[in-house]
Copies of this chain bind each other. A is one copy, B any other.
Amino acid sequence: MASNSFGRHLRFTTFGESHGPAIGCTIDGVPAGVPLSEADLQPHLDRRRPGQSKHTTQRQEADQVRILSGVFEGQTTGTPIGLLIENTDQRSKDYGEIARQYRPGHADYTYQTKYGIRDYRGGGRSSARETAMRVAAGGVARQILKAALGEQDWWVRGALVQMGARKVDRANWDWDQVDQNDFFCPDAKAAALYDQDLSAIRKQGSSIGAVVEVVAHGLPAGLGDPIYAKLDSDLAAAMMSINAVKGVEIGEGFNAACLRGEENADEIQPGNDGQPLFLSNHAGGVLGGISTGQDIVVRFAVKPTSSLLIETNSINTAGEAVKVRTKGRHDPCVGIRAVPVGEAMMAFVLADLLLCARSNKI
């Protein structure tokens, strides 16, 4: 089944394996007249790029994106935008063992069972390498939002808010810190602790989970369509489709289960210029699946990397018991590089639903 596309009015389709010649993406449904060049996309790709700190995989990829179509004289033309990134560091090596073993927690077994064949080189299609194209598509989405929202003060930002059991202290939250440390962490103190934690974990050949929060500010009310294109439902699908994500929540999220109705209700007062003034944001900016105009707040949980230097029990393709130890390069906390990916998915969902919303009313 065709399943490598995401979006409604605006839709991207990705292709490519970890160790194939290239990965690519087609973004369809972009309105004409949006300023766009490779320089608009590259900074986002650079944030996600591997090999930038000791805490991420040492694979070296320039992740240089080329725009192959859909842009003319610096503007989109309404036709699809083809993007391509060549893979440069797919080390040639003997995949003998990995080809015959199922790593616990990996997609090895499920791909093999589903398809009867799998490209085991670097995880093939199941590799997080695919997320580079999401980030590129998110960059295009940001250009659409920028053109559509004009002067309005808006942004889409993400941050690591938990690694292991350690959460950031929200009293220390500073968005400007996010790009100052190796963790996309808004709390400088927590970042310093994460550095210690993760160095130890990495040396043990272990890995650790994380929670990422993405916030969109300045988006209008009215985005998201009942019943099966709700903003929160699209965000949930978007985030859960990212590699290693095991949970998604909006606003209060799971904590809402503990609350009384009066605690959770976001009361409203008359605001300036006729807009409502919400006195809190337990809803995370979404009511009835439609944006309220408040900050849209989503969090997602990322499981610890399955690739471990620590030996685990598994079976091979012949069904025999084996001991598995992953040798290659990997991120000890995949949650870190999931931050720009989460931002990209949020930006894409919002640009998509913004275009969809043009037909709300006759």
* Cα(A319)–Cα(B307), bound, Å: 55
List B contacts of A177 (CB < 8 A): none
* Cα(A11)–Cα(B144), bound, Å: 26
* Cα(A17)–Cα(B10), bound, Å: 19
Q: Is A158 an interface residue (CB 8 A)?
A: no
List B contacts of A82 (CB < 8 A): 15-16, 22, 24
> Which of B17, B119, B233, B279 is the one whose CB lies under 8 Å from A237?
B233
Q: Is A152 an interface residue (CB 8 A)?
A: no
Q: Are B256 and A304 in contact (CB under 8 A)?
A: yes
Q: Is A303 an interface residue (CB 8 A)?
A: yes
Q: How large is the interface on A (under 10, 10 to 19, 20 to 34, 35 or more residues)?
A: 35 or more
* Cα(A125)–Cα(B328), bound, Å: 43
User: Chain B residue with minimal CB distance to A35?
Assistant: B362
* Cα(A276)–Cα(B316), bound, Å: 10
List B contacts of A72 (CB < 8 A): 17, 117-119, 124
The verdict on A1 contacting B362 (CB below 8 Å), with A236-B237, A303-B256 known, is: no
List B contacts of A29 (CB < 8 A): 1-3, 359
Q: Is A342 an interface residue (CB 8 A)?
A: no
A241-267 toward B: CB 8 Å interface, digit per residue (1/0)?
100011111111111111111111111
The verdict on A113 contacting B221 (CB below 8 Å), with A4-B226, A68-B20 known, is: yes
- Shortest A25–chain B CB gap in Å is 9
List B contacts of A70 (CB < 8 A): 15, 17
List B contacts of A111 (CB < 8 A): 78, 226, 288, 290
CB proximity to B under 8 Å, residues A1-32: 1-11, 13-17, 20-24, 26, 28-29, 31-32
CB proximity to B under 8 Å, residues A191-231: 201, 206-211, 221-222, 224-230
* Cα(A268)–Cα(B313), bound, Å: 6
Q: Is A56 an interface residue (CB 8 A)?
A: no
Stretch at the interface among A44-52, A100-108, A168-176, A182-190: A100-108
List B contacts of A114 (CB < 8 A): 32, 78, 221-222, 290, 357, 360
List B contacts of A42 (CB < 8 A): none
Q: Are A117 and B77 in contact (CB under 8 A)?
A: yes
List B contacts of A308 (CB < 8 A): 261-262, 265
- Shortest A324–chain B CB gap in Å is 9
* Cα(A81)–Cα(B29), bound, Å: 21
User: Chain B residue with minimal CB distance to A209?
Assistant: B257
Q: Is A165 an interface residue (CB 8 A)?
A: yes
Q: Is A139 an interface residue (CB 8 A)?
A: no
